[in-house]
Amino acid sequence: MPSMILPALAALALPAPQADDADLRVAQLRDAALEDDYAYAITEAITTELGPRLAGTAEEARARKWAVTTLTRMGFKNVRDEPFPLKTWVRGVERAMVVGENSQPLVLTALGNSGATPAAGLTGEVVFFPTLDDLKDAPDGSLAGKIAFVSHAMTRTQDGSQYGYYGAVRRQGPAIAAAKGAAAILIRSVGTDSHRMPHAGSTVFPEGTAPIPAAALAVPDADQLERLVGRGAPVRVALTLTPRIVGTQNSGNVVAEVPGRDPAAGIVVVACHLDSWDLGTGAIDDASGCGIVAAAAKRIMDAGRPRRTIRVLWAGSEEVGVFGGKAYFDAHKGDNHVLAAESDFGADRIWRLDTNFAPANKPLADRLAAALAPLGISAGRDPAGGGADVSALVSAGVAGVDLQQDGTRYFDLHHTPDDTLDKVDPAQMRQNVAAWTAMLAVVADAPEAISATK
């Protein structure tokens, strides 16, 4: 290097040995995490020993107890279950049958918060709507006594972004059909597979709208019902759904910490949700997320005390309305959070990094991107939202990081009976752990303050 430019470089070069040490340490932690076994072991245990963990049920309570024991054994500090009350909905019988000349069963599942049919079921003529907009256009009262069938079809994307638009049929469709007097509503599952696997998920009936029976047909069954309707003759379906509210039960968030060296440097919270839908064992949604964030936090912990406290949040009741995230925000909004992130999109590889950092944190964003690049991850342009359980924090101004997972096959499995351990690819899961470990190594030890963009 020519000596004449040494003075100019000197100011920049001075911290370089330290920076290089930090970068090297991040790289070593990252690469060691490519051999991680913690995340898969946690996911295996949650799905095998606990199984389905519907929010508010005894199964979720058992899972929280297991989580406190496990995270304590792993060496985390301040491990606790933070309970909160939850009006708890549970599934009952679910059965549907085309009646008449083409009589045959259909595979479906009740949506969360669905109303119930009489125990003996109800029978109604099917009124077909290709899309949610078509349902919205139906005249008021036109569905009295009828079963609305909305066959809004989602397609496959890597970023899963269609869930927003196409998921509306599940979230809002039942309330719209109820307002128009429908006796019940069937929707095409919000999913990208073609298996006899209905996709569960919550729907919302606003105050004042009495819940009607609402269910998702498996995709092949929605195809079948479309074909039968297409024959031209009226199609009648006999439907029995007997879900019920079992009163107010306890749900809860499990929290564990890696205490930081510098209490004033604030808290980095990494989240997942421990509850799951009841049809599968919640492997990709979201035992794997809990395995990934806990594994990464443990790897940082075992490498020496970080500057900032890392708080692991295994939220409860995410699936039924992000009640765990809300409870966490209410209880902890006064804590000194500096960054929030969540793993809740399966266990397939991370391909993109999004942040919402203030411009002053560009050097931090650059170090983060550099640390992740060797894993095949590049920076995207979406502002990070943090993920469901920490979105309230991010909305309130906490910086967020989104480590975007490949969602190509996520909605094949999402909320179905098929969400089981065999769907988790250990190699891709390790790439996740490496990315989360690198991210935590960068942000938990970053010397600068971390702020979100305004």
Q: Which residues bind its own copies (CB under 8 A)?
A: 44, 47-52, 59, 98, 101-105, 107, 194-197, 219-220, 223-224, 227-228, 231, 280-281, 416-418, 420-423
Which is nearer to its own copies, 191 or 387 (by Cβ)? Answer: 191
253 binds, among its own copies, Zn ion, none (CB under 5 to 8 A by kind): none
CB under 5 to 8 A by kind: which of its own copies, Zn ion, none does 220 bind? Answer: its own copies
Q: Given the complex with its own copies, which of 35 and 422 has the nearer CB atom?
A: 422
Binding flag, residue 342, Zn ion (CB under 5 A): no
Contacts of 91 (CB under 8 A, 6+ apart): 54, 109, 110, 243, 278
Q: Closest approach of Cβ 389 to Zn ion, in Å?
A: 9
Token couple for 439: 């991210």
286 binds, among Zn ion, its own copies, none (CB under 5 to 8 A by kind): Zn ion
CA distance 97 to 74: 50
Q: Rounded distance, CA 451 to CA 454, Å?
A: 9
Nearer to Zn ion, 278 or 286 (CB): 286
Residue whose token pair is 């996709």: 199
CA angle, 445 then 353 then 409, to 5°: 130
Examine residue 286 and tell whether it contacts Zn ion (CB under 5 A).
Answer: yes
CB 270 within 8 A of CB 254: no
Instruction: Quote the tokens at residue 430.
Output: 């390790």
Which of Zn ion, its own copies, none sits in contact with 154, Cβ below 5 to 8 A by type?
Answer: none
Q: Which stretch binds Zn ion (CB under 5 A): 75-83, 87-95, 179-187, 284-292?
A: 284-292
438: which 2 tokens?
Answer: 């690198």
What string marks each residue from 344 to 363 as x (binds Zn ion by CB under 5 A) or -? x-------------------
In angstroms and rounded to an integer, the radius of gyration of the C-alpha atoms of the chain is 24
155-157-163-168 Cα dihedral, nearest 10 degrees: -30
- Output the six-digit token pair for 108: 């479906």
Phi, psi of 253, deg, nearest 5: -105, 135
Smaller CB distance to Zn ion: residue 285 or 418?
285
Nearest approach, Cβ of residue 286 and Zn ion (Å): 4
Of its own copies, Zn ion, none, which one does residue 344 interact with (CB within 5 to 8 Å by kind)? Zn ion
Q: Which chain residues interact with Zn ion by CB under 5 A?
A: 285-286, 344
